Amino acid sequence: MKYSIFSLARAALSGHKTWKPTWRDAAPKDRYDVVIIGGGGHGLATAWFLASEFGIRNVAVLEKGWIGSGNAGRNTTIIRSNYGLPGNTGFYELSMKLWERMEQDLNYNAMVSQRGVINLYHSDAQRDAFARRGNTMRINGIDADLLDQAALRKLMPFLNFDNARFPVQGGLLQRRGGTARHDAVVWGYAHAASELGVDIIQNCEVTGFVRDANGKVTGVETSRGKIGTGKVGMAVAGSSSRVAAMAGLRLPIESHVLQAFVSEAIKPLLPNVMTFGAGHFYVSQSDKGGLVFGGDIDGYNSYAQRGNLPVVEDVCEGGMALIPMIGRVRLLRQWGGIMDMSMDGSPIIDKSPVEGLYLNAGWCYGGFKATPGSGFVFAHLIAQDQSHKEAARFRLDRFRRGAMIDEKGQGAQPNLH
Amino acid sequence: MAEFSWDVRSPLDRALVVGPYGSTGDAGVSLTEIRNFDLIQVMARRGKAAETAKAAKARFGVAAPETPKAVGTTDATLIWSGPDQFLVLSKGGKHTIEALAPVFAGSASLSDQSHARALISISGAKARMALAKLSSIDLHPDVFPVGAAAATSMDHTSVTLWRGRDRAEAVFSLLVFATFAESLWNTTLDAAAEYGVAIAHAADLG
Amino acid sequence: MVGSAQTHRLTSGGLIDRSTPLSFRFDGKTFTGFQGDTLASALVANGVKLVGRSFKYHRPRGILTAGSEEPNALVELRSGARREPNTKATTAELYEGLEAASQNRWPSLSFDVMAINQLFAPIFVAGFYYKTFMWPAKFWEAIYEPAIRRAAGLGRAASVPDPDHYDKAWAHCDVVIAGSGPAGLTAALAAGRSGARVILCEEDFVLGGRLLADGGMIDGLPAAEWIARTRGELAAMPDVRIMTRTTLFGVYDGGTYGAIERVNDHLPVPPEHQVRQRLWRIVAKRCLVAAGSIERPIVFAGNDTPGVMMASAMRSYISRYAATPAGRIALFTNNEDGWRTVETAIAAGLQVAAVIDARPDVSPAHRSLASKGGFPVLNGSVSAVDGGKNGVRKIAVSLTGGARAEVEADGLAVSGGWNPAVGLTSYHRGRPKWRDDIAAFVPDGAPPGMVAAGAANGAFGLGACLREGFEAGAAAAQDAGRSGNIGSMPVADDEAFSLTPLWHVAGKGKAFVDQQHDVTASDVELAQREGFQSVEHLKRYTTLGMATDQGKTSNVAGLAIMAAVTGKSIPETGTTIYRPPYVPVAIGAFAGHHRDENFHATRLTPSHHWAAEQGAVFVDTGLWKRAQWYPRAGETDWLQSVTREVKAVRGGVGFCDVSTLGKIDVHGPDAGAFLDRVYINSFSSLAVGKARYGLMLREDGIVYDDGTTSRLAEDHYFLTTTTAKAGPVMQHLEFCRQVLLPELDVQLTSVSDQWAQFSIAGPKTRDLLKEIVDPAEDLSNEGFPFMGAREVKLSGGIKARLFRISFSGEMAFEISVPARYGEALVRNLMIAGKPFGVTPYGTEALGVMRIEKGHVAGPELNGTTTAADLGLGKMMSTKKDFIGRVMAGREALTAPNRQVVVGIKPTDKARRLRSGAHIIPKGEVPGPDNDQGYVTSVCFSPVLDQWIGLSLVERGRERIGEIVRAHDPLRGEEYDVELCNSVFYDPEGGRQRG
Amino acid sequence: MRIVCPFCGERELGEYTYLGDAKPQRPAADAGEDAVYDYVYLRDNIAGVMSEHWYHGGGCRAWLKVTRNTLTHEISAVEPTAGAGAAKVGV
């Protein structure tokens, strides 16, 4: 069913009694051409691209709980493509371009808001690193601007310029970066994929893989019975190791908890997305008015979806160091998500060593912004059995070969990425 | 050749201003920096815990602490600082690294920390209240009695904290890294200001 | 303007201090109240009904509750830098001069043009924005979103820094108790008498909880007297700490609880040296949740009209505050407890218009109360409220059986039953369980060490609360190992509890589930229709429960309505995940002292204050402040100062404080063997009295850190790290010692703070040193050759360590003295060096000289480079195992086309270089495929009189002499540079060895 | 989270830093690239009880082996690593 101001007005006449479900809540069939495990943004986007770009419509998306119940619904909604290393830069820009047409593609308003993302720098060394990164972006055709302190004072006069432990000197701005309404991305992909015939099956937990004598995957066992398929795509960031283990795989991934926070809704205060360069704090303001902010991961392996106080304090300290006018704004809610922290901080989109099983994992805390791009390249990989060129470096064997994509330069220590 | 003077300067030399600070009235917290001390870290070598303990006993007349405690002798305080290690705190010149080296030769490695730390004594009716803003450990007298010690952190900085002999009220001693000293001192003053602070320094260990 | 003078204040009674009148302003009007009032109770006492506007439709709203669950009566409290948006009038304590303003309205609360949104309400249903505003795409950021953002949000935050202070503290106890109602107080009594260390947290400013409004007899005493007696007994126990104005808001791992103490929010401004609020981390062996329960509304049309109030809140205003929310009230209840409001109202002399009771049978006692009071008892439900911004006028009632009735009243008390406060017990993802007998969720799956007692546990009678609290308090103390005599248990009678569940009354008009977010019953139905049936989808689609009240009054009703439309039971429908904090907490409180300049600690070098006296400009390096350069009179920019300093060193002598380097004593018989495993090169072969440059890798083969390490004795090495890695390297070495190589006899100690260390460099270094080193020391090239390291005596007897190492490429020493001599050493160097023109230099000059010498540093050791990339591959020993050896050999890390360190210089000597520019082959159009590297470090070289730099370039060392493009679109620059040897200055090294 | 250091007693999370799974053992010098790759990169990433390396850097500087449940954060055991307290080896 088509969404528009006209359909809304029409429905209003009947007291909105005419609306149909946003997506069909399907029951599993015996067999699909492709089964995607994980009804988050990445899984649903993959299904939509399979159906819309690659003509594969006999697709099921299996979700253990309710769609969007994982990291798709627990992030800080930032979208950007300000990466500095080959492999990342092109991929995230592909994703950004898909964000820019998402609503028209999906006929669903995901509130993609290109309000600008600025990474602040506080030292010459940081400025130089941002210059390197910004130039990489420009070379890849991505917008980037290096602002000095004077420009920043105009754009964000409320920053702590004069009273700070680590004074802000400038920032790297990507104007096309911004935010999107995370749940709506999930619902939009579900809506559009469902319209194309994709089965979205909630409350369906995968409990094992069905393999033939050669080890090839021929289906999945689920809490709602066996489902046959020749191709299984795994998009379960946070739980990748657990699902991969069912296929006998060990991954270069650890699961960590990342907390995020939202404040009470207030009138517009912050114009864009900003990241503190001298502490762990990034923030934007949602359309509803809440300050949505976060910082570093808690730092220990966890599947608990909740964190501890030291990180809450650390993040708020960063907030008060950077924007001391938010002292009396109240933190309304804290939550935690499970991050697929990879060994170099970059994702894995690749065939797995098990034939018929495809991996989409290791998104660390950056998976949301990748949603459309990840769906597209993963659909490409599954449909054509080869990597899309913008995902060619996200190979699983890069660790074995020494071809890491390590933006932070921290090495095989996931909690430092 | 020019004449050189070799003044020692405490890391709190500039920051510490003797006198009252914060709320007026009776000071709830007394902060006194002690400036003249030797501090030697003694680290038992592999398998040499017993020999080290014996050497310590011979030198100081008491057993060195094997758990988080501070043990006072007539002229030194032995403060546990980690597994197999303790600090020897004494009035400047008493137990220098040169003096201790032969004592522990072959049993322990020594490291001179005399200039690496600042030593602050914290007391007063509100001392525990002020410390509660800095330290995450429980300083209730039942849990942290006279002689208790801790290798811990304040403001993300490693410190050694112990409770020496009471002087009418509990007296806490704090060793902080020299390069952090001024910063932690200011943080401590902020924490204690509402109770009123009496600031002093003393040459020697009391 | 002067508002009314407490027209709605009873002439006697209440827990207010009538001898202390307080004047305050709301929306510019001046009112008075009393000490002991909240802002809400003072507004009630002044007959103010309209207090706020709702989020979406800007509907007029009054005061619904008397506690922290308030969804409607939100104000901007205080003004200017202290403006606090969304402050609940129901918890804001009144103080003299309080200023509050209504919010989310324009131009005024009474006349709000945004109320026009109500006209669009048929379109502005839940989730409408997902279906529109999509075309044209550009209009979102330009038009739609700004309009939505302006309309959304509630109050305005301050636009200047918060001037108040905050701090944080730790507390430890056996038992922490959340709430001081009957259960909390008896819990504290039992635990305290057992000898337990107890912390009793109460969010209100007085103890008592519901007892303050509902009274009752305990141990034969009126509640107020019993509270006073109990408080006295608790206060006399040295290990019981009573914390009022303190909300326990979260539970974290290992028995850590977060609490917020509003230390001075009840005053206009915190007293000098005091904080506004304090964040407590309470470490407790046991936690008792005695946080009570929250009365829940019933959803019916017009239930948001000002004057509709929770029945218990109405009792609070009348009994506790002696303020009358209405003159003629009606009660709508589905349970016995609601009737207490009628009793209270009658006792206060108010008129009762009617009681609408949804239960078929009302007790004879209540019937007789009604007949004595002359008001009807209507069996049925409220179907609509007629009224507006000035409050309730008429109430439409659907009687059981179908007839209708109308009641005239100016206040409607509502009781839909009670929900235990299950937040705290659910924060570790335990799900509360449903109890049919009370039609409510009660705690289940609480975190380890936590139990609920009293109303928070579904025990609604006073006697039961006292008993549960007392027993739980005693049990908690016992669990904590305390077993003193707990004495006798306070007793009281239990009231009858009877309830017929009623969530939603069908009717015409908007019936609100979440009042603050304007989520109606039909929105819940719409969500169901569109497939958002999971409670989490419901919450996210409609925003139900996401307002500042965190769904305290709305969640259960919302899921009950969802259960009804899906035909499931309430427990099958389930709850959303509960998330802390229990009440919203100021960001400033979480930050505490750590804001502005106090964000992080500051480390100062031993020469810091001296350098400051010289007028040095400091730079932040990690936590350190380092002298960056020392400007002199007449110098107009930093480059002049730095160039002068470099020239002074290269031509004479200078010194620089390098105390920030990490310094580690490595002791023990196996120290050499240990270092061999840590560094890629050998250290066991280093002679005593010698220093060597060392490089260490991470286990993945990437360079980790570098530095010079000296052997001071057979079993004693002195290792240095970079400034940035001092801490991490210590941790790494301890890991190697304790975990990887426990068989080695090695001891490690940080001596970073023990030594003040200075680099003294320049051709006149030896001349200067001779002045301050004891004449007996041989500093000649033979007596102290390059890379020599040993202890020396200084004139005056001080012992120092001298290392003949050079970062600058000049004849140089590093000298270490015990840190408290650091400043004296600097002063003495200045005296001794005067004849040689000694010049202090900062980190910039240090950096210039290291680039001139091609030494790698932070920008090159960036966590992705190998030893070979840095040109140091030959250092990797093939004769031993070391950390990172195997992984360093992987194919992609040894590929021939890797980016490696190479020098660059502009072909145009006048051209300035900038770090971060990329390297593109000459003549090619820049693109991802020919992006061959980038510039890592640049400086103006006074020696070469031009800008030079280091870069990481594909196959760079094989391409020396090639002209490439430096491409810097960010700064609009592009120019030719020549790849060259990275050692620009004295490549033979004669100067440092001389 | 609070960890009971076997040397210092119970201490706050902030005094510790985390390394990760304590199960992988550093291979022998001649074990080859595959074995070292496995040690450096591959993880069981257990959802449940796991043995982990933590460093009491804000206290006594001992490296500890902590047995902790990654689903609940519950800590069931803490012991020193082999080289923490090595002076008592053989005593």
Both B198 and B130 in a single domain? yes
Inter-chain contact B82–D86, Cβ cutoff 8 Å?
no
- Give the C window 718-747 contacts with B, CB below 8 Å: 744-747
Q: Let me know if residue B8 belongs to a domain.
A: no
C1 pLDDT higher than 60: no
Condensed to tens digits (0 to 9), the pLDDT of residues C901-954 reads 999 999 999 999 999 999 999 999 999 999 999 999 999 999 999 999 999 999
Name which of B13, B109, B184 is nearest C668 (Cβ-Cβ).
B109
Span C145-156, mean pLDDT? Answer: 90
Which of A293, A323, A342 terminates a domain? The answer is A342
The pLDDT, as a whole number, for residue C497 is: 82
* A224–chain D nearest CA distance, Å: 23
C183 pLDDT higher than 70: yes
Cα C146–Cα C151–Cα C155 angle in degrees, nearest 5: 115
The pLDDT, as a whole number, for residue C119 is: 86
Inter-chain contact D19–A413, Cβ cutoff 8 Å?
yes
Cα C653–Cα C654–Cα C657 angle in degrees, nearest 5: 150
Name which of D19, D41, D73 is nearest A399 (Cβ-Cβ).
D41
Cβ atoms of A277 and A318 closer than 8 Å = no
> Quick one: tokens of C157?
């935050």
Check CB contact of D82 with chain A, cutoff 8 Å.
no
Which of A316, A342, A368 terminates a domain? The answer is A342
Strands (E) in C163-300, as ranges, are 166-178, 198-201, 217-218, 221-222, 240-243, 246-252, 256-261, 277-289, 293-295
Q: Let me know if residue C989 belongs to a domain.
A: no
Distance of alpha carbon C858 from alpha carbon C675, whole angstroms: 22
Both A269 and A247 in a single domain? no
Q: What is the CATH number of the domain that holds C435?
A: 3.50.50.60
Nearest C-alpha neighbor of A302 from the set C253, C425, C811: C253
How far from C127 is each of A101, A373, C817, C841, CA to CA, in Å? 20, 26, 70, 63
Check CB contact of C273 with chain B, cutoff 8 Å.
yes
Which of B88, B112, B136 terminates a domain? The answer is B112
Inter-chain contact C772–B135, Cβ cutoff 8 Å?
no
Q: Let me know if residue A264 belongs to a domain.
A: yes
Asked whether this complex has an ipTM greater than 0.90, the answer is yes
Q: Let me know if residue C963 belongs to a domain.
A: no
* D43–chain B nearest CA distance, Å: 30
| Structural domain count, chain C | 6
Distance of alpha carbon A218 from alpha carbon A356, whole angstroms: 8
Distance of alpha carbon C870 from alpha carbon A387, whole angstroms: 33
Which of C361, C390, C415 terminates a domain? The answer is C415
C2 pLDDT higher than 60: no
Condensed to tens digits (0 to 9), the pLDDT of residues A15-35 reads 999 999 999 999 999 999 999
Inter-chain contact A252–D71, Cβ cutoff 8 Å?
no
Both B104 and B193 in a single domain? no
Distance of alpha carbon C364 from alpha carbon C496, whole angstroms: 13
Both C544 and C641 in a single domain? no
Nearest C-alpha neighbor of C626 from the set C663, C656, C662, C595: C656
Omega into C420 within 30° of 0, i.e. cis? no
The pLDDT, as a whole number, for residue C3 is: 47
Measured between beta carbons, which residues in chain D are less than 8 angstroms from residue A304? 70-73
- Give the D window 21-40 contacts with C, CB below 8 Å: 26, 29, 31-33, 36-37, 39-40
* Cβ-proximal residues to D51 (8 Å cutoff; 6+ apart), any chain: D21, D22, D23, D65, D66, D67
Both A380 and A232 in a single domain? yes
Give me the sign of the Cα torsion angle A96, A102, A103, A109: negative
| Structural domain count, chain B | 2
Measured between beta carbons, which residues in chain A are less than 8 angstroms from residue D41? 252, 343, 399-400, 412
Distance of alpha carbon C814 from alpha carbon C846, whole angstroms: 13
Inter-chain contact A304–D19, Cβ cutoff 8 Å?
no
CA-nearest residue to B110 within chain C is C667
| Structural domain count, chain A | 2
**Best mutation target, D4, D21, D25, D26, to test chain C (most C CBs within 10 A):** D26
The pLDDT, as a whole number, for residue C135 is: 84
Both A282 and A320 in a single domain? yes
Q: What is the CATH number of the domain that holds A312?
A: 3.30.9.10
Cβ atoms of C544 and C521 closer than 8 Å = no
Both A269 and A300 in a single domain? yes
Q: What share of chain D is helix, strand, coil (3-state, %, to 5)?
A: 15, 35, 45
Chains touching D (at least 3 CB pairs under 8 A) are A, B, C
Average pLDDT, chain B: 96
How far from A383 is each of A93, C316, C699, C989, CA to CA, in Å? 22, 66, 38, 61
Q: Let me know if residue C289 belongs to a domain.
A: yes
* Interhelix angle C182-193/C462-479, nearest 10 degrees: 30
Inter-chain contact B113–C275, Cβ cutoff 8 Å?
no
Both A100 and A190 in a single domain? yes
Q: Let me know if residue C794 belongs to a domain.
A: yes
DSSP assignments along C352-378, one per residue: EEEEEE-SS---HHHHHHHHHHT--EE
Q: Let me know if residue A151 belongs to a domain.
A: yes
Both B26 and B120 in a single domain? yes
CA-nearest residue to D57 within chain B is B158
Q: What is the CATH number of the domain that holds C724?
A: 3.30.70.1400
Both C284 and C181 in a single domain? yes
Span C857-861, mean pLDDT? Answer: 97
Both A317 and A292 in a single domain? yes
Name the phi and psi angles at D12, rounded to 5: -70, 145
pTM: 0.97
Q: Let me know if residue A1 belongs to a domain.
A: no
Cα C256–Cα C259–Cα C264 angle in degrees, nearest 5: 150
Q: Let me know if residue C484 belongs to a domain.
A: no
Distance of alpha carbon C362 from alpha carbon C347, whole angstroms: 20
Name which of C530, C599, C619 is nearest A317 (Cβ-Cβ).
C599
Q: What does the DSSP 8-state code read for residue B148? A: B
Both B104 and B131 in a single domain? no
> Quick one: tokens of C78?
């205080």
Distance of alpha carbon C860 from alpha carbon A217, whole angstroms: 46
Distance of alpha carbon C275 from alpha carbon C264, whole angstroms: 7
How far from A67 is each of A190, B168, C533, CA to CA, in Å? 8, 65, 11
B1 pLDDT higher than 90: no
C994 pLDDT higher than 90: no
> Quick one: tokens of B57?
């006993």
Average pLDDT, chain C: 96
Both C208 and C237 in a single domain? yes
Alpha helices in A63-107 (DSSP H): 88-99, 102-106
The pLDDT, as a whole number, for residue C4 is: 52
Q: Let me know if residue B7 belongs to a domain.
A: no
**β-sheet with C839-840: strand ranges across:** C789-793, C799-803, C812-818, C755-761, C654-657, C839-840
Distance of alpha carbon B78 from alpha carbon B95, whole angstroms: 11
Both C96 and C207 in a single domain? no
> Quick one: tokens of A50?
């399979």
The pLDDT, as a whole number, for residue B2 is: 60
Both B159 and B66 in a single domain? no
The pLDDT, as a whole number, for residue A1 is: 73
Q: What is the CATH number of the domain that holds B138?
A: 3.30.1360.120
For the ranges A167-181, C106-120, C161-175, C950-964, the lowest mean pLDDT is seen at: C106-120
Both C174 and C253 in a single domain? yes
* Cβ-proximal residues to A244 (8 Å cutoff; 6+ apart), any chain: A234, A250, A251, A352, A359, A361
Q: Let me know if residue C431 belongs to a domain.
A: yes
Both B68 and B125 in a single domain? no
Q: Let me know if residue B191 belongs to a domain.
A: yes
What is the C-alpha radius of gyration for chain D, rounded to an integer number of angstroms?
15
The pLDDT, as a whole number, for residue C328 is: 97
Inter-chain contact D88–B49, Cβ cutoff 8 Å?
yes
Those residues of chain C whose CB sits closer than 8 Å to some CB in chain D are 252-256, 281, 283, 428, 448, 699-700, 727, 730-731, 734-735, 737-742, 745, 881, 885-887, 889-890
Both C744 and C761 in a single domain? no
How far from B147 is each of B60, B85, B139, B150, C574, CA to CA, in Å? 16, 17, 12, 10, 54
Range of the domain at B66: 37-112
Condensed to tens digits (0 to 9), the pLDDT of residues C477-527 reads 999 999 999 999 999 998 888 899 999 999 889 999 999 999 999 999 999
Give me the sign of the Cα torsion angle A197, A201, A205, A211: negative
Both A27 and A155 in a single domain? no
Those residues of chain B whose CB sits closer than 8 Å to some CB in chain D are 43-50, 52, 67-68, 81-84, 136-137, 150-153, 156, 158
A356: three-class secondary structure by DSSP = coil
Q: Let me know if residue C856 belongs to a domain.
A: no
Distance of alpha carbon C552 from alpha carbon C583, whole angstroms: 10
Inter-chain contact D55–C731, Cβ cutoff 8 Å?
yes
C-alpha of B76 from chain center: 12
Cβ atoms of C173 and C199 closer than 8 Å = yes
Above pLDDT 70, what percent of chain C? 100
Measured between beta carbons, which residues in chain D are less than 8 angstroms from residue C886? 31-33, 36
C598 pLDDT higher than 60: yes
Inter-chain contact C591–A316, Cβ cutoff 8 Å?
yes
The continuous run of DSSP H or E covering C182 comes out as: helix C182-193
C188 pLDDT higher than 50: yes
Q: Let me know if residue C36 belongs to a domain.
A: yes
Q: What is the CATH number of the domain that holds A60?
A: 3.50.50.60
C990: three-class secondary structure by DSSP = helix
The pLDDT, as a whole number, for residue C818 is: 98
Q: Let me know if residue B10 belongs to a domain.
A: no
Measured between beta carbons, which residues in chain C are less than 8 angstroms from residue A7? 131
**β-sheet with A282-285: strand ranges across:** A145-148, A170-174, A117-121, A273-275, A282-285, A290-301, A253-265, A330-342, C585-586
pLDDT band at C341 (very low <50, low <70, confident <90, very high): very high
Inter-chain contact B137–D11, Cβ cutoff 8 Å?
yes
Q: 3-class secondary structure for D46-74?
A: CCCEEEEEEECCCCCCCEEEEEEECCCCC
* B84–chain C nearest CA distance, Å: 10
Both A321 and A389 in a single domain? no
Condensed to tens digits (0 to 9), the pLDDT of residues C37-49 reads 999 999 999 999 9
Both B198 and B119 in a single domain? yes
Q: Let me know if residue B135 belongs to a domain.
A: yes
**Best mutation target, C124, C134, C897, to test chain A (most A CBs within 10 A):** C134
Q: What does the DSSP 8-state code read for residue A38? A: -
Which of A298, A315, A342 terminates a domain? The answer is A342
Both C729 and C779 in a single domain? no
Name which of D13, D45, D72 is nearest A304 (Cβ-Cβ).
D72
Measured between beta carbons, which residues in chain C are less than 8 angstroms from residue B4? 772, 794-796, 824, 828, 831-832
Domains in chain D, start-ordered, CATH in brackets? 2-22+33-88 (3.30.2270.10)
Measured between beta carbons, which residues in chain C are less than 8 angstroms from residue D82? 738-739, 742
Both A319 and A213 in a single domain? no
The pLDDT, as a whole number, for residue C975 is: 98
* D83–chain A nearest CA distance, Å: 22
Inter-chain contact A409–C123, Cβ cutoff 8 Å?
no
How close are the terminal C-alpha atoms of chain B, in Å? 40
Which of B60, B85, B112 terminates a domain? The answer is B112
**Best mutation target, B29, B128, B176, B194, to test chain C (most C CBs within 10 A):** B194
Both B59 and B138 in a single domain? no
Q: Let me know if residue A17 belongs to a domain.
A: no
C882 pLDDT higher than 80: yes
Average pLDDT, chain A: 97
Nearest C-alpha neighbor of A135 from the set D71, C968, C682: C968
Residue for token digits 């007789």?
C368
Paired strand residues for C252 = C256
Both B120 and B189 in a single domain? yes
> Quick one: tokens of A22?
């946003």
Q: Let me know if residue A223 belongs to a domain.
A: yes
C30: three-class secondary structure by DSSP = strand
B95: three-class secondary structure by DSSP = coil
Chains touching B (at least 3 CB pairs under 8 A) are C, D
Both A332 and A350 in a single domain? no
pLDDT band at C115 (very low <50, low <70, confident <90, very high): confident
* D80–chain B nearest CA distance, Å: 10
Q: What is the CATH number of the domain that holds B90?
A: 3.30.70.1520
Condensed to tens digits (0 to 9), the pLDDT of residues C536-563 reads 999 999 999 999 999 999 999 999 999 9
Q: Let me know if residue A362 belongs to a domain.
A: yes
C378 pLDDT higher than 50: yes
Inter-chain contact C822–B117, Cβ cutoff 8 Å?
no
Distance of alpha carbon C836 from alpha carbon C832, whole angstroms: 8
Inter-chain contact B153–D62, Cβ cutoff 8 Å?
no
Both B130 and B87 in a single domain? no
Range of the domain at C668: 662-750
Both A329 and A354 in a single domain? no
Both B128 and B68 in a single domain? no
Name the phi and psi angles at C149, rounded to 5: -65, -40
> Quick one: tokens of B183?
């910063």
Check CB contact of D12 with chain B, cutoff 8 Å.
yes
Condensed to tens digits (0 to 9), the pLDDT of residues C349-359 reads 999 999 999 99
C438 pLDDT higher than 80: yes
Paired strand residues for C572 = none
Check CB contact of D53 with chain C, cutoff 8 Å.
yes
What is the C-alpha radius of gyration for chain C, rounded to an integer number of angstroms?
38
The pLDDT, as a whole number, for residue C495 is: 84
Both C535 and C557 in a single domain? yes
* A307–chain C nearest CA distance, Å: 8
Q: Let me know if residue A90 belongs to a domain.
A: yes
The pLDDT, as a whole number, for residue C5 is: 84
Q: Let me know if residue B42 belongs to a domain.
A: yes
Both A263 and A157 in a single domain? yes
Q: Let me know if residue B96 belongs to a domain.
A: yes
Range of the domain at A224: 23-106+182-253+344-416
Both B48 and B91 in a single domain? yes
